[in-house]
Amino acid sequence: MDKNRSFEIKVGLAEMLKGGVIMDVMNADQAKIAEDAGAVAVMALERIPALIRKEGGIARASDPQMIKDIQSTVSIPVMAKVRIGHFAEAQILEALEVDFIDESEVLTPADEHNHIWKHDYNVPFVCGCRNLGEALRRIGEGAALIRTKGEAGSGNIVEAVRHMRQVQSDMKKLTIMNQDELMAASKNMGAPFELVQQVANSGKLPVPNFAAGGIATPADASLMMQLGAETVFVGSGIFMSDDPSPRAKAIVDSVTYYKDSKKMVDVSMGLDSAMKGIDMSEIPEGERLQERGW
């Protein structure tokens, strides 16, 4: 398959995940709970972000055995994370045939200057962003799916909202620019010119645009969908709560019925406590996961 065809197939899988919920899981049992609750995919990782935050240490790609156990337990796509720039971890995940690789700021970065050249892989990649420039740099490197970074493991939606609004507003600005302003825009946001032109013409990203980082309730999921997300990732929000299975189901419903406020009442009712969460002022600058990557 030539390179363009291969990229189309990668984006194709991202299209199939739209209108769904991708859930972080740490073992096969959790993966089963996620699948039974209606998740469109699971993200296999050793420690969910809230635990990484609590326990500290270096966060690396997961044990292949754990990923294999999850692959043999569920029929939905299995994703897994690699450290930013750690292309050897990515090679291992590709050999494991994971369905999507997340080059993620949640793990400790392996390279402070370069992200992985993702066009070299047959497995699609998803990457986080805080603004349009960052999104287009990742797409330029071959990412087939973009998500907001938010602030993983915080249980606080404020950063995901900031990043989604920023991407949307950056895109709107491009659509009203004249042709002769686009080169300067490309320079200022540090994004490939061809992709800047494409967004200026279409008004949207050339790949699907999902939300992640701090989603803890059905209302959080609805908020992100209404702000333009096409699917949501829920990391710590499910398995750090007191009621993983009903909460997972409720968030799945909320992504389908996000515009129907009466239905949102039904799905939000009767859940136990959500994860506690952290105010952003309690996370010192320099310890924010979203600052990893460029």
Partner 1 sequence: MIGVLALQGDYSKHIEILQMLNFKTMEIRYPKELSLIEGLVIPGGESTTISDLMARSNFHSPIKTFAKKKPILGTCAGLIMMSKNLSDDRIKSLDILDISVDRNAYGRQIDSFIDQIEVSLNGKQNNVLAPFIRAPKINKVGKNVKILSYYKNEPVVVKQGHHLGLAFHPELVNTTLFHKYIFSEQFEISHAT
Nearer to partner 1, 35 or 141 (CB): 35
- Beta carbon of residue 23, minimum distance to partner 1 (angstroms, whole number): 11
**Spacing of C-alpha 226 from chain mean position:** 17
Reduced to 3 states (helix: H, G, I; strand: E, B; else coil), residue 211 is strand
- Beta carbon of residue 94, minimum distance to partner 1 (angstroms, whole number): 7
* CA distances in angstroms from 77 to 109, 149, 169, listed in the order given: 25, 21, 31
Nearer to partner 1, 15 or 291 (CB): 15
Beta bridge partners of 232: 21, 211
CA separation for the pair 175, 53 (Å, rounded): 39
- Beta carbon of residue 14, minimum distance to partner 1 (angstroms, whole number): 9
CA separation for the pair 67, 80 (Å, rounded): 8
User: What are the residues binding partner 1 (CB under 8 A)?
Assistant: 1, 5, 8-9, 12-13, 15-20, 35, 37-41, 71, 75-77, 94, 97-100, 122-124, 252-253, 255-257, 260
Nearer to partner 1, 77 or 109 (CB): 77
Kindly state the tokens that stand for 170: 């950056």
CA separation for the pair 236, 248 (Å, rounded): 11
Nearer to partner 1, 41 or 289 (CB): 41
Reduced to 3 states (helix: H, G, I; strand: E, B; else coil), residue 140 is helix
- Beta carbon of residue 243, minimum distance to partner 1 (angstroms, whole number): 17
CA separation for the pair 104, 83 (Å, rounded): 6
- Beta carbon of residue 13, minimum distance to partner 1 (angstroms, whole number): 5
Nearer to partner 1, 69 or 99 (CB): 99
CA separation for the pair 193, 177 (Å, rounded): 14
Helix axes 28-37, 244-256, angle to 10 degrees: 40
Q: Catalytic amino acids?
A: 81
